[in-house]
Structure formats: C-alpha cells, structure tokens
Structure 1
Amino acid sequence: MQSMGDYYSAVQLRSDRWSQLREAADALSRAPEGRNAKANLEKITELFDSLSLIEAYWAFPGVQAFDTLRRHFDHRNFADLAFSVQRITRALTTGAYRRRHIPLDRDSSDLDEHEDEAIQSLEARALSKPYFEVMIVDNLNEHQERWMKSNFAQMRRPEDQFHYETVVVPSLQDALIGILFNHNIQAIVVRPGLILESKVELAILTRYLNRAGGLEALENLEPQNYGPELCRMIAKVRPELDAYLITERSVEDIAGLDLGICRRVFYNQEDFLELHLNILRGVQSRYNTPFFTALVEYSKQPTGVFHAMPISRGKSISRSHWIQDMGAFYGPNIFLAETSATSGGLDSLLEPHGPIKEAQRLASRAFGSKQTYFATNGTSTCNKIVVQALVRPGDIVLIDRDCHKSHHYGMVLAGAQVCYLDSYPLNEYSMYGAVPLREIKHQLLALKAAGKLDRVRMLLLTNCTFDGIVYNVERMMEECLAIKPDLIFLWDEAWFAFARFGPTYRQRTGMNAANTLRERLRSDAHAAAYAEQQAKLKDADDETLLDTRLIPPPNARVRVYATQSTHKTLTSLRQGSMIHVNDQDFKGEVEASFHEAYMTHTSTSPNYQIIASLDVGRRQVELEGFEFVQRQVEAAMSMRRAISTHPLLKKYFKVLTAGDMIPETHRESGVQSYYDPEQGWTDIWDCWEKDEFVLDATRVTLAVGGTGWDGDTFKTEILMDKYGIQINKTSRNTVLFMTNIGTTRSSVAYLIEVLVEIAKELDDLIDDASMMERRGFEKRVANLMDDLPPLPDFSRFHDAFRTDDVTSEGDIRSAFFLSYDERNCDYLELNGSLKEAMESGEEVVSASFIIPYPPGFPILVPGQVVSEGILAFMRALDVSEIHGYRPDLGLRVFAKDALKQQIKTNAARLKLNVQRQKT
C-alpha cells in the first residue's frame, strides 16, 4: 500500500483508500480464516485509521456510517462490512450519493445499484437536482450534532431546486481544511461554539492550512472573533462560497468587522427555515445563467422567421434532401437557438441591456474584475480591443518580444512606439522563459532618464506563457508603479483562465493582484513604508533602484486588464474569450474609447451559442471550478511522479522541473522540483508566494531528445498518428502535455502506457541495431540535446524607424505599411545573398513578421535589423512552417533606397514636431 507521502492531495488518497478497503473487505469476507486473513485484518485496520482522519470532512458516507463500518469490523461481521463498503465505494465512484439516499444494510434494496452517472444520458442527468454540502462549524457532541442535522433535514421541500447534506466540524482550522479538501461544500454556517485548533495531525491535511495564510496571527485571537475571522480567511482561498454567521454579539460590535464571504448574520439563535432558504438562494445566485436561460426559452417559442439566416430554427436543414446528416449530427436544439434577433428575450452583444449584460456582470463577480466583456472571436481579438482602446499613436509600449502575434499586430494598428523586452533563454530546450523584472525596471529607468516616461503607456506581458512560466504579478506591478505610477498593465492570460479557481494559482492572476494592490495602497501602513523608503532612496542611482524592491506611492493608479481564452482552459465553445478590467480610471478615461474599440473588432453577428457557453462556463467554475482545477493539478502531478520514477522512461525522457525552466536567481524559495523521488512532494505554496517566476504544474514539458526524434516528429508521427494523443506545443527537443479540467486519471494512465511502449520499442530497436545504426542514433540524440543554436535576442529597430538612438523603442506601424509597396522591398536568400550582404557590413532590415512554428512567435518584426544570431537561428531551423518566409524567394527585406527615404521622412516629421512644440 502506498504511503501517504506518495499522494499529492488528500482527495486522491481518499479515493484510493476506499478502493483498497473494498478489495481487502471482499477478500476477508470470502476467506475469513484463509492464509491471507491476518494480512487483510492488518490492512483494514490501517485503512480505517487513515480514513478516519479525513471522513469527518464529508457528508457521505458520514461519520455515523463510518463508525458502523468499524463496528462491523470489530465484531467480525465481515460480510456486512464488505457489502456496505462496496455500496459506498460504488456510490462515490458513480456519484449516485448525489442523486439519492444510499442504503448500507444488507437487508435493504437499492434498485439503482448498478446505475452509473457517467452512462446516463445528458437529458436524464439534467433532470436531477444538483447536490452540494453545507459545512456547520461548531464544537458539538454527538447528540447535538444529530439534532442539528435533523433540523436542517426537516427544512427540505419538494419544490427546492437543489438538495444538500450537512457535515459538522468543530474548529476554525477544521473548517479551513474542510473547504480546501471537500469540493462539494458550497456554504458554511459558522456558529458561536467553534474552537480554534483541529485535533487532526496529518501532513497531507495540515498542508492545506498553508493555503489560507495568516494562521500565526490566530494565536492572539479572542474566541468571540473566531467566527468573523473564519469568514475572512475563507474569502481568501474560496471566495465563491457563501457563509452565514450566527453570533451572540450585538449589531454594533459586528458591524465594523471584515466578514469576508458572509452573506448574512443571524443573531442569538437560528431560524432554520430562514437559514435553509438563504443557503439555497446563495447557490441559486451562482447557478443563474441569464443568457443561456434566455436562449433556451427563445428556442421553445413558436416564431416566424423573416430575417437573415436560413439556418434559424433549422428550416434550411429540415427541408433539405442533401444535408440531413448535419441535422442528425448536431441535433435540433442548436438550430432552434440560432437567430440574428436581439429581442424576444435575447440581447445585443454590442449594446447589452438584458441577459448578456447580466451574464457579463456575473462573470465579473466570478473572476474578480470590475467589468468583464465577452468576445466570440478569440483572445486575439480581445488583445487588439484592449490595445486600441488604451494606446494612442506615439505612445510607448513595453512588450515581451515572444508574446502572441496578435499583440504585435495590435501595436501596428495602434501606432505604438514598441519597446521589446527579452525573456531569459532556455537554449538547451529551444524555448524562452519570461521577462525578468530587472530588465523591465532597467527599460523604465532608461526611458525616465531620456525624458520619455510621460509617453510610456502600457506594459504588456504573457501570464502564464505557453510553456507554463508564471509571473509574480503583484510584485511586478508594485515595482513598475514605483517608477511610473500611472502605468497600465495588460496581462495576456489566454492559458490561465482556470487560475482564478485554485487558491495557490489565484494569487498570481492579474485581477486578484489588482484587488490586493488597491486595498494595500489605501492603508496607512503602506503610506508609512513608502515614505520610509523614499527617504532611504533619496539621490539613489539606477543600480541601487534595480537592486531594491521598490514600493509604489499611495496615489499610484491601479490600471489592470486581463484577456483570457475561456475556451482554452475552461468550458466554452471555441473562440469564447473574456476581457477583464480592473482600472481605476476606466469610467472617466477609457470607457468611451473601449466601447469604440469593442465595436471595431466585434462582429455584428456574434455567435449566440458561444455567448451561452461563456455564461454556462462561468456557472460551472463558480460552483465546481475549485474541484475541477484541483483534479487538473492532481492529474499533472501524478504524471510528473509516474514519469520521474519509472526506470525505463527515465532512459529516454525527462520531465522538466522548475529548476530546469527557471534560473536560480528567479527562484528565491530554492524549490527545484515539485516532486523528488527521494524527498516526495514539495508544498508549492511557498514558491508561488515568493518566487519571481514559478512553473505552472498543469503544463508538463517532456524532453524527448533522448529518443532521437525532434519534438515535431515525436508529436506528429508518434503521438498523434500512432496513438491518437493530441498536443499543441513542441520545441526542437521537447513536447508539452497540458492537463485541463476535463483530464482524467485514466487519460494520464493511458499516456504513461504509451510512453512505456515507446521506450520498450526503442530498447528493442537499439538492442538489435548494428554498430553503425547505434552511432547514427547517438548522433541524432547529440544533435537534439547538445548541438543547439542559441536563441537570438531582439536585435534593434533600424534608425529609419526610431526617433533617436538613446532608447530602444521603434515605430513598427511605419515599417509595416512601408512594406505594402513592393517597390520598397526585396528578397534575399538565407544561404546566399542575405549572408553575403551581412558579411559585407550591410544592414539588412526585415519587411515582414517572420514567425516559425515552433516556437510560434516573431523572431523578426517589420523594421528590425537582422543580426548574425537571428540569421544563424533561421538557418538552423528545421521546421516546415515559417509564417512570412518564402522558401522560393527568401527573406523579405527593405530596399536600401526605401530606408534612406524613410530616414528623410522621419527627420522631417521630427523637425515639424519640434516646431509645433515651440509654437
């Protein structure tokens, strides 16, 4: 039996322990005096001991039922024990306990015993009442606990939309463990009798307490404040939950306290019916999907269609003799809900006043923003909307060079002066990391010294990167605001929408950091700390400022935007995305321009099915996002452990760790790996709280160079063609596996099986190979693992597209449109005329975006000088897809005469601007 240290989460431990208990109980009931009986008795005793520590946090099977199982065991009623454990395990596996009472006695019948929720039709599952659990926090004896649960049970009514069961825990610490462990909990009732400390002592459970933070401060907390403090601490880790505080304190005493997620306070004694109704109402507020519900109701209405869209109501399909297969494949509802109407209970995405507006408001609440906007054509469009709304021609934007191409095109459309930032390279794996804070501060200080800080408008960074590098968002914004107090931040969180719903991950999201900063900047403690630092830094040089963790002024403006691909990491149809806004100046400065940018880029015929899926996806994450994200991380951690510990897989594969992907200087915690075969699991909370960069555990980068196949070949010819495993991202010698909220343990097991099969085949191949074949294999491995071209940094913009040679920003828009005239361009061959031109000392300037896949971001942009490093990298590329490059013609570059003319035009424009300023 695996030790508890082998498990990343208590949820995995619980599931496996129940399965092991079922197997041992079955074996004991079949042969109570057999040769393995003693071993089974010892195993069951051990399993009961480990399960007893965690079953108190779940309503099913419940403490009383668990005690009954133990009595069966103690009295050697092994047949009864095996029967009851089998029913419990099956109910936990199928989810049957969520739909009906599960009888555990052998004499009781269970007509639906073989029912499995997974094989029910969606229609049947939709008809059942959703189930959740309510945690009651009070130090009750056994009789009082039964009385409490009975009172809640008596409040149930047939017309209730939801069904819930109660679980009772005695202490504040138990409540914190419970809400981080039991994903079924949707509401907490905090009573006056709770105590502070838990009696549970188990590393895998107490590790959960770290997520809540602030436990050290509880030692001096007065008992009458335990309840309010619990509500506040739950708000930090699971803000989507509802709490109901029952207190004996006066209204005046309780009114000034921070009650976190508390929805209502009850005084002196409970009104169980009122509590019951409030609990249901709280869950209903999250379950509500305004637009999806409106669309469902619209689809039921009899209508006459006299507008564009023949497919509306499915008429053009049902009347067809040739496309009936489409109707059969999709079913009728998708067509019944298809319309171009914005009335009849529906709404307009461009001018929302009804259910879409309400759906966006609920999404704003769920994701912690001040405003949220839906988009039906992907995050590429979201990025362009935000950039166009905020950036004016001539504004300077700091942007990571290896960001998504939509940002580069957004810079062109906005007419920004672009200051590209270089991420740290990972040459051995042919990928980039992220932009160090020191590099960003250096660029801001250089722009300040040049007198250009007033023109700096925005910092644009990718969080998290495709490969899983995550910024310390809060620290990044703090230190940048210390230099530029009104700087706007755009965080591209296309791959990070799920992060809001995991306590560890949430702290590194743009919206959470914005809310934290806004609160901190208002505090007296922050004002005092700022004044103290300013006194110390008076007349400090740039090197000192770079080495100091800077504090922003109290009057700094928190202006944060995040774009998220809901469809990439949460439940939404393809291209469903959101823009989240947390900008103190949005109402007064941005709202009008944002509306215009939104109108510019958003279709006047948005897909209603995508909007509805965004609405439902929001409902899902508010009610079960915590559970799904937890399982997603668990699946990735299991994958890491399985590959890292398998003796055969280690010969050919390596899971890249935080130590491999993040330089030591950016890992203050010193954490090297999330799992070590000798030391076990690392509590990642510490590094996620402190380090400049962390690695998203849900992205598992596997080095495959040891197989002799490059990443693209391994992805296409091995994983996809041979085994049907789909992935997106590769580098020269790595492939990226991403778990998501739909990933199962079975999926992980299948992947491990496939990798083991590949490794075995390689073993056989090498074993049968001739000496020359082995040398060829070793050479391919060396070429992939050792002989890698260094990744090039951004070189610079040509002088024709710069205002001076003091700072590095360039006019990418002028370069982009200059290339529209073919007379301004030429083509040079990589291994011929281009190489010769550069060797002769000529400055070669790209006229196009050059984007190889992989890595999937521009290695050249319009107006950029081609460096020796870039040329060497391009010549070494062996990928088949390079956007912007014509193999038949070569690299598109600017002609010499075009650059000379552009320099004259640039000089004339600058002279005119100077004259205007003087005037």
Structure 2
Amino acid sequence: MSAPQKNAGLEFHYNTTELRQETWNRLKVTAAKHYEREQKGLHQRETEATIAACFDILEPVERYWAYPGKATVEELRAILASNDAFLFMRAVSHVVRGIISESYRRRLASRHVPINDLVLSSSIPPTSDDSERNYFEVLVVDNLHPEHEVALRDEMRSQQDPKGTSIYDVIVAPSFEDALLAVILNPNIQCVVIRYGFPVKSDSPTKLLGPHVTALEEIDVNAKTGVSRSLALGSFLHKIRPEIDLYLVTDAGVEEASVKGSRHFRRIFYRNEDYLELHLSICRGIRERYHTPFFNALIEFSKRPTGVFHAMPLSRGNSVYKTHWIKDMGDFYGKNIFLAETSATTGGLDSLLNPTGPLKEAQERAAKAFGAMFTYFVTNGTSTANKIVQLALLKPGDIVLIDRDCHKSHHYGIMLSGGCPVYLDAYPLREYSIYGGVPLLEIKRTLLRFKREGKLDRVRMLVLTNSTFDGLIYDPMRVMQELLAIKPDLIFLWDEAWFGFAHFHHMYRRRAAMSSAKRLNKYLRSDAYREFKTPTDFSQDDDTLLSQPWFPDPDRIKIRVYATHSTHKTLSSLRQGSMIHIYDECFYTRTESFFNEAYMTHTSTSPNYQILASLDVARRQAELEGYELVQKSIEMAMIVRETLKTQPLLKRYFSCLGPGELIPSEFRPSGFEHFFKAETGWVSAEPAWQEDEFVLDPTRITLYIGRTGIDGDTFRKTYLMDKFGIQVNKTSRNTILMMTNIGSNRSAIAFLISVLIKIAKMIRNLQHDLTPQKHRALTLRIQSLTEDLPPLPHFSGFHPFFQAEGEGPAGDMRRAYYLAYDRENCAYEPLCEELVARVRQGTELVSTTFVTPYPPGFPILVPGQVVSPEILEFLLALDVKEIHGYNAELGLKVFRAEALNAEALNAEALNAETLNAEALNTGESASGSGNLQPVKAVTAGESGDAAEPIAAKPNTKRPSRKRPRPSQPSGT
C-alpha cells in the first residue's frame, strides 16, 4: 500500500493506480475549462497551474503503461505549448475516453500513431473479431536510447498476426526499480523480457512511487552486476507476481545463465535474440495459461451429436424442450447447460474420482497456479473439502487442536473420523460481539502442556481459519515454524474458504497457506537458517519457553500443509465449487492412498460438470487477471472506508472498524490502527503485514451500527435487504459485515454509499422529534447495543463422561453423538432465563448435538460439551433466527442425568451380556423367543423425535479409556 499522496489540490488516494485514473479525469475537466476560459477571454492562470500539476503526476507514472504512455503525455504537452486549447481539449478527451472504454485493448497499430492524427481523423470502430481478442503488455527491461526504444517496440509489434487471438504492446523499463514498479502498478503486464545491463536506480521522481519499492531493502542489488543482477530482478518479479512469464536475454555464457536462471525463467536467449522466436515464446506462454483443458473438453462434447441411452433425461435438453410444462426452464438457463450435461465419463470428458485426461490436467494447472504440490477439485463445497482432509489424516483417538470458531464442517469432520478435539479459544471482542483469532501463545501453551504430560505423540493436527469471517488473517509461516519446533510432524489444515484470491496479490500472498508452506520449506532448509538459528531447547521452564520464539530442527521436521478454498466465494466459480490444495512432503509415502479413499467417500459419483468447468475457468482468470481484480477490490473497499470516515452524516451514525478495534494491541507491534485517517490520509499497512501476528483484510468492511439503536439482524433485513435489496455477509449484535470482491465495481460502491446515506437520513428524521418516553426508549436501545452487551463465552469443556483420556481437554465427540441416537438418553430444556438461573445454581446440562448460529456458522455447543450459563446467555441474546441444532419449540437437546451415570450404564450392559451368555448356554438366543425383549438396532431415522419407544437400550458400555492404537493407522 502506498503512503498518502496530495498533489495539485487532489484528495488523498489509496494508491498510485487510483491516483493515475483520477488525475486523467481531472485533466479532462480542466482542459475543457481551460478552453472555455480562452473563448471568454478570461485569464487561464488557475487552469494552467492545475494542468501543470496533472502533468507532473502523469509524466513519471505513464512510463509504466503502454497506453496512453509517456509518448502521449509528451505530445499533449507539446499541443498545450502550441496554445491550441481546442485541440488540447479534444486530445485529452480522446485519451480519457480510450482509458475508460479500454478501446486500446481491441486493436493495435504496427507503429505509434501521433495523437494529433487520431483526434483529427475519424475513428474506425472495432470489429467483432477485434473485441474478442485478448490484450496484454510485455515489459522489456533494458537501458535503451529513446530511438532504440521506439525501434524495439515497433519491431515487436510487427511480429504479431493481425488475425491472431491475442495482441500485445510493449513497455520499456530502463532500470531495476522501474521494472519492479511497472509490474506492481500495471496489471496488464503478463510477461517480462530482461535484457543486458541496466542500472538499479530509477531517474523517475520517487515522491509518488517510492513507497512501492520496499522489497529492494532485502538484498544489496547494487553489489550485483551483469547476469547476477538480471537473475536477482527475475527473483524479485517472481516474488511479486509469480504468474507472469519471465524471459532472459543475456550476453553472459549461456551455460552459466541456463543453470542459474532455470528456476524462474521460461526461456533464455543469447545476445541478439530472434524477435520472431521471442514473439512465439511469449504467445505460447499466454496460450498455456489461457488453456482450460476441462472447460474446453466440455465445450467440444456439447458440440457433438450424440444419442443418449444412459441416465439423465435432462442431457441434451431432451426432457426440457420436448415438454409442455417446463420449457421456461430451458428459456431461463439456455441450451448450452443442457448440451453439457451427461453422466458418461467418455467422449473427451473425464472421471473426477479417477482423472486421467483433461480433468487431471486442469487440477495440475490449478496446483501450479495456487503454489501447491497437488490440487483436488470438490463439487459440493468446502464443507465437504474439510471433511475429506480430516477423514484422510485422522484416526480414532487422534488429538486435533482446533479453533472453536471454525466452520461447523470441521467439527462434523472430526466427529466422523473419531478424532478428539481440543478447542482453542479465540480472543473475544465483547464490544462488537465478535470473536477474533487464536493467539499463537495459546497454541504453544497447549502443545507444551501435552509435551509435559507425555501425550504430544497423540496430537495430530491443527485447524485454523485464515482469514476468519471478519477478515482476520494469521501469519501462517510464523505459526507453522514455531509449532514445528515442538511437534515436527504436526499437520496444518488452514480453512481459507474466504481467502482463495490471496495467492494472486503480493500483499496477501505472504499470508496464504500454500505460499507460506513453500517459503517455510525454503527457509528452514537453507544454510542461513542452520548457521544462525539454534533449535529450541525444551528443557527450559515453561515461562522462559513461552516468552521467546521457537525454532525447529530442520532435520526432524516434515512440512505437511493443507488448505481448503471456497473458490465460489471469492473467485469466478459456480456455487459449491471448491478446491483442496496440498503441500505435504509425506503425501506420496504416507497419505495418498488414505486421501483417495476419503475423497471417494465424500465425493459424488455424479459430479456436476458445470461446476468442474467453472473451477478450471476460475483458475485461468486468476492467473491472467487475478492481480488486477484483487487490486481493484481493495480499491473499492478503500473508497467505502474513506467515505465512512469523512462524510459528516455517515460518520454520525456509522463507523468502519479497523485493525485498531478488531486486533488487540499486543498482536499489533507495528502500531497500525486504521487504513485511512481523515487528518493524514492513507497509512501504509506494509509494516503490519510484515510484523503483526494478525492483520485485517481491507476488503472486509465491518460497519459498526451501535449508535443507530438498531440491532444487526434488523438492520440487515429491514433496512438493507427489504428496502434496497443489498445483501451482506453476516451481522453481530451491533455490526454489519460487508465485503468487496473481484466482481465489485464503482457503480456498486456508489449505490452502497448512497443507500447508507439514505438510511442515515431516515434514522436522523426518526430521531429528530421524539417524545420524552420514546427518547428514553431510544437511549436504552443504544445503551444495550453499545454498553450492555452479553459476554462472549469461551469453550466450557467436555463432560468427564466424554473426555477422551481421563481428565483433560480432549473430547470424544463421536461417542456423545451416537449416545444421543437413543432418545431415551435425551431430554429438552426450554431456553429461558429460568434455565440460566438453574445452571448457575448447579444444574448440570450436557449438549447432545451441535448448536450452530448461522451466520457465522461455527458451533457454540458440540456433543458432549457442558452447557455453561454464559453460553445460555449468549444464545438468548442472539439476534439471528437461524440456529442449526436448536429446536425453538422444544428447547436445547441435552443428555438425561442417568445417561451419564457410567456405573449404571456399565452395570446394565454387563447384565445384558450375562443374559445373552445364559441364553447361549441353553441353546436360546437373547433375541429369540422367551421373556427377553429383542435388542432393536438404532438408526438415525428411528431415533428422531417421532420414533416409537425402543424396546431395549443398545449396549452403551463405556470403552476403556486406554484404547489400543492401530498398528497401521490411516493417513500415517
């Protein structure tokens, strides 16, 4: 993020890209005013000063764009100097229209055409073929004379096929710094050609651009010369935007350059390169990223005439278009969706459960794009993706450290696999009714406890959400590094359902799971780490250990990292399209077969091909324009943040929460509090993203509404949704969570701001003239939303009957879950203040099921958990109406006291076993004729509230706490 910028009377701008856009608009308006004043014979000193200030901004910036580019800026200066105000106005208007309409992307002249000629000639509208061509820009790094620069650009333009599917223009960066800035600022750049020698420093003024060049401080680039400097630049560019293609032109020995440059460069050319060969290499690289193997296969399949003699009457649209009653469905969806429907995996398509063709290639391309070793597509959401990972890696009795606020699918997955969760508490934000993240110190303390108790070998996995629903982002590399010091084989599952876009922007990428795993592997296996870091000595006392960072032994660790992405939430995939990304050094040797079994367990044999194809296309878009779209989504969010800080009426009732409110100071050593301050403008968040334990995703806009006197759920439904049709992610008692994404645009942001202003006016009018009684009621409502907030309860603990290993934090959720199948073990307790009082007086309640308010979607109670008074108060205070696992008519479902009496249950089970043994000795079965009632098998369907009474209880004898360990556990 850039520092605040204020030039020529302009307001502060979030970054240089936005400043460029606004400056061109300002120049257009001023040029028109300049001509108008000339016509009226008025002095033009003011407009001349503004135009000069605009040129001062644009001249150093436009060198990093092909259009309009620095040549066009120089031409505009010349037109202005000729005192032709009319031509200047027309020329500026033509340029701005080209920027806004992006007409420059649709056709490319073989040589540069002067702006005079373009303005004075009639423009030819692009043909339909032109509009379908893909445009990108090529950056050439070389310190060229201006004449040679023009010749190079014209030569590379001339290589292009006028009828080709792609066209590109060329930018020349004369220095190391210019190359970095061009790649950061210009998202159109898709490949870079690094040629010969070039200086490090840019001759461009750094007042505007300096904040972007922080990466240069990491190494001494000035000390590098020749091919070493070129390779260093390639390494930096790959770090900033790993998706772009890099090409090296060198006069050093080809052998030396090939060995050292093979890591990041697609191809290396020697000295006077063949322009045609370079052009063909550039186009091939773009085609490879553009290619979507499964989507293309599905298109081809839909074009083939086929006879359908298998399942799915919907296939080819036969059951839709030949009907009298559902033709409207065909009209709504269009024919292509039906032409692509099939249950066959032949004919150019592929099997999701055993991919060998285009689907396999699509997943491999996704793995490369997201920085993973392996990627698996999932067609029924990240809820299923989470369960697949847990079933693959956990066996009964394994301990899982998990944030209690993780999505409910994790809790179900642990229950299904038989894992024993140890719940970690996130820091609470009581004043906003929001939970934060789990402090690293809390996780370290828990692991240290298991080590001291001799149970560290049972700890298998850590599950955390990155980023959280409210946009709190961990530092995965730091978390994994420190925890591997005490548990070298710990498996990490990062739920990145809302963070799938992170890999495609340099600010976010450093805190994405796959990127962090890769960087951690490189760091821990480096000579520098071995030389300067000593593995942590755990013989020290706990206080000493917890007061310092931990460093693992690189010879003992295994980096095993899994990330699940809801691609449909943040990228362009259809609903339920998700991905599992894997960076596991032990995948082939320990996990692959178990993972495949888990994948088959949870994956449909009839996957939706449209979802799979959309995942393939989402990868293509993310690679080719993800950087630009993510950057724009940040800019859109910043517009909202700035407006909420500066608009008088909005800031009277609303405020936008920043890191200062959502992240306690002990987790923010950088001291970063807000992205924007009305007094100073935008504040650089770069130090926070490098240093802080938690950072806030700027695209998550948490709107504080406590001062309105309206609770979050009412504000969402009555004001935003019912009146204006605005949907938001979630609410708390006094906040509304909104977010921008890669589909957000300025029109949508303008609509949101206008709606908030209208709501603020409505609230102001309602509160303007109140009777004393109504004013008192309003004051009490505001007080209840700003001061009298219920406490956010921590995890209460498992009942001793369901503790996995005697007294301890780990619980056997699966045992509790299935014990509740017998409804005679269960009862309902109406949720009311009286129940809270009874629990405070000592009544013991234990939950039989998951109780999950939605949103945000994490369980406040799990099977086997003790119900605390604080949890009951929290449930009573909830504004959301959708609470999964809670029956509003009956109340909370809890275990009967006698069901948790282990001695009684064991005695009953022992008596049943004795009777069965006696029956066998007499030749009779306990389930045969006689006085004994048959033991009825209890199923999920039979254990519902409407089921008939069960004749006899199943054997619920509690197993021994010391369970034998399987000799060949799954996933190990």
TM-score range, shorter chain: over 0.9
1:39 to 38, 46, 53: 46
253-262 or 448-457: which moved more?
253-262
Give the 4+ runs in structure 1 shifted more than 4 A. 1-5, 124-127, 213-216, 902-908, 914-917
2:326 aligns to what? 323
Deviation at 1:168, TM superposition (A): 0.8
2:90 to 76, 80, 83: 83
776-785 or 420-429: which moved more?
776-785
1:52 to 59, 67, 70: 59
1:735 aligns to what? 736
Residue-by-residue CA offset, 1:558-581 (whole Å, 9 max, x unaligned): 000000000000001100000000
Alignment of 1:357 onto 2:360: yes
Residue-by-residue CA offset, 1:286-308 (whole Å, 9 max, x unaligned): 00100111111111111111111
Cα contact 2:406–2:465 (8 A) shared by 1: yes
Cα contact 2:469–2:856 (8 A) shared by 1: no
Structure 2 runs not aligned, ≥5 long: 1-6, 907-955, 968-972
For 1:755 and 1:205, how far apart are their aligned partners in 2? 34
Structure 1 pair 803/164, CA: closer, same or farther in 2 (3 Å)? closer
Alignment of 1:644 onto 2:645: yes
1:272 to 266, 275, 286: 275
Structure 1 runs not aligned, ≥5 long: 116-123
For 1:726 and 1:716, how far apart are their aligned partners in 2? 9
Cα contact 2:395–2:417 (8 A) shared by 1: yes
For 1:580 and 1:245, how far apart are their aligned partners in 2? 31
Matches within 5 A, 1:685-764: 685-764=686-765
Letter in 1 for 2:62: E
Alignment of 1:514 onto 2:517: yes
Deviation at 1:45, TM superposition (A): 1.3
2:185 aligns to what? 181
2:107 aligns to what? 100
Deviation at 1:33, TM superposition (A): 4.8
Alignment TM-score, normalising by the size of structure 1: 0.95
2:338 aligns to what? 335
Residue-by-residue CA offset, 1:773-815 (whole Å, 9 max, x unaligned): 2222121111111100110000100000114455311101101
Alignment of 1:143 onto 2:147: yes
Count of aligned pairs between the two proteins? 904
2:124 to 80, 95, 111: 111
Cα contact 2:8–2:50 (8 A) shared by 1: no
Deviation at 1:276, TM superposition (A): 0.3
Letter in 1 for 2:539: D
Cα contact 1:241–1:261 (8 A) shared by 2: no
Cα contact 2:535–2:553 (8 A) shared by 1: no
Structure 1 pair 3/614, CA: closer, same or farther in 2 (3 Å)? farther
Alignment of 1:826 onto 2:837: no
Residue-by-residue CA offset, 1:826-863 (whole Å, 9 max, x unaligned): 11223377346424423211111111235432111110
Alignment of 1:18 onto 2:24: yes
Letter in 2 for 1:747: A
Alignment of 1:129 onto 2:133: yes
422-431 or 19-28: which moved more?
19-28
Deviation at 1:336, TM superposition (A): 1.1
Deviation at 1:77, TM superposition (A): 1.7
Alignment of 1:254 onto 2:257: yes
For 2:668 and 2:586, how far apart are their aligned partners in 1? 34
Letter in 2 for 1:112: P
Residue-by-residue CA offset, 1:125-167 (whole Å, 9 max, x unaligned): 8962100000111111111111111211221124533100001
Structure 1 pair 502/3, CA: closer, same or farther in 2 (3 Å)? farther
RMSD: 2.0
223-232 or 392-401: which moved more?
223-232
Q: Tell me, what secondary structure is at the counterpart of 1:769?
A: coil
2:899 aligns to what? 898
For 2:440 and 2:420, how far apart are their aligned partners in 1? 21
Structure 1 pair 516/323, CA: closer, same or farther in 2 (3 Å)? same
Residue-by-residue CA offset, 1:244-267 (whole Å, 9 max, x unaligned): 111111134324425653111111
Deviation at 1:748, TM superposition (A): 1.3
Q: Tell me, what secondary structure is at the counterpart of 2:569?
A: helix
Q: Tell me, what secondary structure is at the counterpart of 1:737?
A: strand
Deviation at 1:218, TM superposition (A): 1.6
Cα contact 1:5–1:681 (8 A) shared by 2: no
Structure 1 pair 908/872, CA: closer, same or farther in 2 (3 Å)? closer
Cα contact 2:567–2:578 (8 A) shared by 1: yes
1:548 aligns to what? 548
1:197 to 187, 194, 201: 201
Cα contact 1:803–1:910 (8 A) shared by 2: no
Alignment of 1:299 onto 2:302: yes
1:27 aligns to what? 33
Q: Tell me, what secondary structure is at the counterpart of 2:133?
A: coil
The percentage of counterpart residues that share the same residue type is 49
Alignment of 1:9 onto 2:15: yes
Structure 1 pair 686/501, CA: closer, same or farther in 2 (3 Å)? same
Cα contact 1:828–1:891 (8 A) shared by 2: yes
1:787 aligns to what? 788
Letter in 2 for 1:548: Q
2:377 aligns to what? 374
For 2:75 and 2:820, how far apart are their aligned partners in 1? 79
For 1:129 and 1:23, how far apart are their aligned partners in 2? 32
Residue-by-residue CA offset, 1:220-267 (whole Å, 9 max, x unaligned): 223442211110100101000011111111134324425653111111
1:490 aligns to what? 493
Cα contact 1:674–1:681 (8 A) shared by 2: yes
1:470 aligns to what? 473
1:616 aligns to what? 617
For 1:595 and 1:299, how far apart are their aligned partners in 2? 30
1:64 aligns to what? 71
Structure 1 pair 378/822, CA: closer, same or farther in 2 (3 Å)? same
Deviation at 1:887, TM superposition (A): 2.5
2:585 aligns to what? 584
Residue-by-residue CA offset, 1:492-534 (whole Å, 9 max, x unaligned): 000000111110100001100100111112112222334x354
2:959 aligns to what? 909
Cα contact 2:289–2:624 (8 A) shared by 1: yes
For 1:175 and 1:642, how far apart are their aligned partners in 2? 34
For 2:694 and 2:880, how far apart are their aligned partners in 1? 29
Alignment of 1:572 onto 2:573: yes
For 2:516 and 2:310, how far apart are their aligned partners in 1? 46
For 1:398 and 1:652, how far apart are their aligned partners in 2? 40
Whichever of the two has the greater Rg, that structure is 2
For 2:834 and 2:747, how far apart are their aligned partners in 1? 54
Deviation at 1:349, TM superposition (A): 0.7
Deviation at 1:6, TM superposition (A): 0.7
Cα contact 2:106–2:131 (8 A) shared by 1: no
For 1:839 and 1:51, how far apart are their aligned partners in 2? 68
Q: Tell me, what secondary structure is at the counterpart of 2:120?
A: coil
Alignment TM-score, normalising by the size of structure 2: 0.90
Q: Tell me, what secondary structure is at the counterpart of 2:460?
A: strand
Structure 1 pair 914/140, CA: closer, same or farther in 2 (3 Å)? closer
2:937 aligns to what? none
For 1:522 and 1:916, how far apart are their aligned partners in 2? 33
For 1:312 and 1:195, how far apart are their aligned partners in 2? 61
For 2:315 and 2:391, how far apart are their aligned partners in 1? 34
For 2:320 and 2:391, how far apart are their aligned partners in 1? 40
Q: Tell me, what secondary structure is at the counterpart of 1:6?
A: coil
Cα contact 2:713–2:732 (8 A) shared by 1: yes
